[in-house]
């Protein structure tokens, strides 16, 4: 999801989807009544330029968070491990009442969950990109290598980059879908969104990873990205985004913070 340009701390204030989701999720988590949780401003500090998207710009290819997941085959060694790591680290920081560490972990946990539940992140992006480049993502260690896909010939280079950046290209479609989400929820109003005791009890019983996987399947069944690639951004997709996608993502983020705050 869009979190700003990563050029300035405030670049995501208007269309930053991650920041908007954090704002509502923070209210839900605080309403639940944790004895300690970092203020929203501290959490938002670790989004955008200081978030996972900022790493992609500052240090391409090195320890770059990869927030894609296949709903049909959610492998344990990818995004799920990142969610588990940030949840456990957040739990420790909250126990020690370390505001800075807790803010970082809360923001990065949220970012991983939001991206993982975003339909555009369910497309086999890396497999497609490796097919074009013939190399894994770790070799994209400069901005030029991230933006330009070289081929064995000039014709191959043009073909590869058109398939990536051209009309309905892999990256173009990804970016346009996320921009559509950002536009559809501007402004984002929480309305009557609340967590139920059943939802809180379920995350305490199952853990955030299993709840994430359940919600991942619910979103995948909507086939929003498949519809987008065929028909473009439609009023139906906008309604699904406002009424189903974003509320479910917000609840999952809030539940992850509540689960990490559980003292059991």
Give the tens place of pLDDT for each residue, 167-221. Answer: 677 778 888 888 888 888 877 666 678 999 999 999 999 999 999 999 999 999 9
Other Cβ atoms less than 10 A from the Cβ of 202: the count is: 15
Tell me if the pTM is above 0.85: no
Helix (H) or strand (E) holding 237, with range, is helix 235-240
User: Tokens at residue 43, please?
Assistant: 């959490």
Query: 30-44, 140-154, 179-193, 241-255: which has the highest mean pLDDT?
Result: 241-255
Burial of 167 (0-12, 13-18, 19+ CB in 10 A): exposed
């Amino acid at each position: 999801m869009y979190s700003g340009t990563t050029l300035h701390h405030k670049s995501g204030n208007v269309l930053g989807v991650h920041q908007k989701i954090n704002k509502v999720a923070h209210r839900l988590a605080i309403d639940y009544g944790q004895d300690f949780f970092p203020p929203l401003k501290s959490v938002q500090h670790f989004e955008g330029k200081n978030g996972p998207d900022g790493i992609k710009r500052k240090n391409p290819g090195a320890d770059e968070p990869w927030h894609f997941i296949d709903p049909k085959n959610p492998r344990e060694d990818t995004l799920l491990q990142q969610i588990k790591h940030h949840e456990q680290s957040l739990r420790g920081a909250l126990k020690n009442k370390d505001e800075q560490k807790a803010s970082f972990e809360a923001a990065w946990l949220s970012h991983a969950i939001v991206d993982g539940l975003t339909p555009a992140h369910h497309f086999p992006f890396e497999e497609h990109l490796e097919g074009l480049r013939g190399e894994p993502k770790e070799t994209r260690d400069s901005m030029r290598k991230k933006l330009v896909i070289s081929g064995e010939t000039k014709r191959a280079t043009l073909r590869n980059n058109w398939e990536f950046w051209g009309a309905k290209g892999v990256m173009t479609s990804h970016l346009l879908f996320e921009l559509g989400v950002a536009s559809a929820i501007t402004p984002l109003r929480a309305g009557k969104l609340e967590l139920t005791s059943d939802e809180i009890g379920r995350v305490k019983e199952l853990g955030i990873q299993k709840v994430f996987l359940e919600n991942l399947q619910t979103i995948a069944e909507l086939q929003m990205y498949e519809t987008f690639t065929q028909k473009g951004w439609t009023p139906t997709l906008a309604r699904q985004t406002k009424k189903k996608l974003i509320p479910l993502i917000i609840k999952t983020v809030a539940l992850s913070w509540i689960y990490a705050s559980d003292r059991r």
